[in-house]
């Protein structure tokens, strides 16, 4: 598998939250060239200006739904990180385009990689491939349970299941190795407002900085797994440089209630405001659960990855970045 140092890599979705962090870590690890590829439909080069100041980093404006736009940037690449995709809320707003990006877009990434002899693809999948996670938790063999999911989440989660299937197909038929990394809720510097739970964090920060209490839907006991984006980027590099293929949970392993998450955010903001609990809104959202118990053991065994940044430190870093944007 390709080593990071002295090799050329493409990050499809390079102007995104995760893509920008992968690009930074590739440069820090000694990559010879890093191509940040993005169509800028949901971002701007402002988020990656510091990376582009490095002569080893270049920006390529291209759309993964157009195969011809990928062939030249992928030429000579040792590996490709397939990050670009629609999240749950945008998928609900535009399901046709969301499915086209998440499925046909990934197929184009794989096809361009095959044609250009790329050594490995690391695909940004999601915990959504499990649908509803039962009381027994989820390891990588858990089935997809979509009963009771909101339609937008069924489409998003289903697109990631199909995406992993395409990765397996290209490995089986064309010998193109790939690793599918199943993320929980990403947060960190360059945070956007397109992920369901990430949006709630930014909205809570906005209220705190306005001197208003952050809002928590329901009693706040609903839990989620939040993983710092820098840890996820590091998992991408480790998976790329390893022999590991298949699906891997990339999660913190900590079941954090929204009460705990908001408490960590308030502490990071140095605020003594008390959160306000409101009745849940009738909108798209993740299923209400009070226990996840998601395993990250397979990634630890396969390529030695474990998270390093806990929720409290991650929230502190996020608040520092958000405050700097004011």
pLDDT tens across the length of the chain (326 residues): 789 999 999 999 999 999 999 999 999 999 999 999 999 987 788 889 999 999 999 999 999 999 999 999 999 999 999 999 998 778 888 999 999 999 999 999 999 999 999 999 999 999 999 988 865 567 888 888 888 888 888 999 999 999 999 999 999 999 999 999 999 999 999 887 655 567 789 999 999 999 999 999 888 888 889 999 999 999 999 999 999 999 999 999 999 999 999 999 999 999 999 999 987 665 555 556 667 888 999 999 999 999 999 999 999 999 999 999 87
- Domain span including residue 55: 8-187+227-251+294-308
Tokens 């690449």 locate to 77
Phi then psi dihedrals of residue 95, to 5 deg: -60, -35
pTM of the model: 0.93
Residue 239 included in any domain:
yes
Q: Residue 36's beta-bridge partner residues?
A: 11, 59
Residue 198 included in any domain:
no
Greatest extent of the chain over all pairs of C-alpha atoms, in Å: 58
Summarize pLDDT for 112-169 with one digit per residue, the tens: 999 999 999 999 999 999 988 865 567 888 888 888 888 888 999 999 999 999 999 9
Residue 148 included in any domain:
yes
Residue 134 included in any domain:
yes
Residue 281 included in any domain:
no
How many domains does the structure of the chain reveal?
A: 1
Residue 56 included in any domain:
yes
Which of 62, 60, 64 is closest to 51 using CA atoms?
Answer: 60
| CATH code where residue 152 lies | 3.40.50.720
Q: Where are the beta strands (DSSP E) in 116-176?
A: 120-126
Half-sphere exposure of 175 (CA within 13 A, CB side): 5
Summarize pLDDT for 168-177 with one digit per residue, the tens: 999 999 999 9
Instruction: Give how far Cα 304 sits from Cα of 14, 80, 205, 282, Å.
Output: 25, 20, 34, 41
Residue 104 included in any domain:
yes
Which of 78, 81, 85 is closest to 33 using CA atoms?
Answer: 78
Instruction: Give how far Cα 220 sits from Cα of 194, 224, 280, Å.
Output: 21, 11, 10
Q: Residue 82's beta-bridge partner residues?
A: 12, 123
Residue 19 included in any domain:
yes
């Amino acid at each position: 598998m390709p080593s990071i140092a002295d090799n050329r890599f493409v990050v499809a979705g390079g102007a995104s939250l995760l893509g920008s962090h992968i690009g930074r870590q590739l440069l820090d690890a000694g990559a010879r060239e890093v191509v940040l590829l993005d169509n800028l439909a949901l971002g701007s080069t402002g988020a990656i200006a510091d990376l582009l100041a490095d002569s080893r980093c270049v920006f390529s404006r291209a759309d993964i739904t157009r195969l011809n736009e990928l062939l030249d940037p992928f030429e000579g690449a040792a590996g490709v990180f397939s990050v670009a995709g629609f999240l749950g809320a945008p998928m609900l707003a535009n399901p046709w385009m969301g499915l086209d990006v998440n499925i046909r877009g990934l197929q184009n990434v794989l096809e361009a990689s095959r044609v250009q002899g790329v050594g490995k693809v690391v695909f940004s999948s999601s915990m959504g491939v499990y649908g509803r996670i039962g009381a027994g938790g989820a390891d990588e063999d858990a089935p997809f349970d979509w009963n009771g999911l909101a339609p937008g989440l069924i489409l998003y989660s289903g697109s990631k299941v199909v995406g992993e299937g395409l990765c397996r197909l290209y490995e089986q038929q064309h010998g193109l190795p790939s690793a599918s990394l199943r993320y929980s809720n990403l947060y960190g510097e360059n945070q956007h407002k397109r992920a369901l739970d990430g949006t709630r964090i930014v909205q809570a920060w906005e209220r705190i900085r306005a001197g208003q209490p952050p809002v928590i839907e329901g009693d706040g006991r609903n839990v989620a797994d939040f993983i710092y984006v820098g840890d996820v980027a590091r998992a991408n590099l480790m998976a790329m440089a390893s022999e590991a293929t298949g699906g891997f949970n990339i999660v913190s392993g900590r079941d954090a209630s929204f009460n705990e998450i908001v408490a960590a955010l308030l502490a990071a903001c140095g605020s003594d405001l008390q959160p306000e609990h409101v009745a849940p809104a009738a909108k798209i959202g993740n299923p209400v659960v009070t226990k996840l118990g998601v395993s990250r053991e397979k990634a630890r065994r396969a390529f030695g990855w474990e998270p390093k940044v806990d929720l409290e430190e991650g929230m502190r870093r996020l608040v520092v970045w958000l405050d700097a944007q004011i």
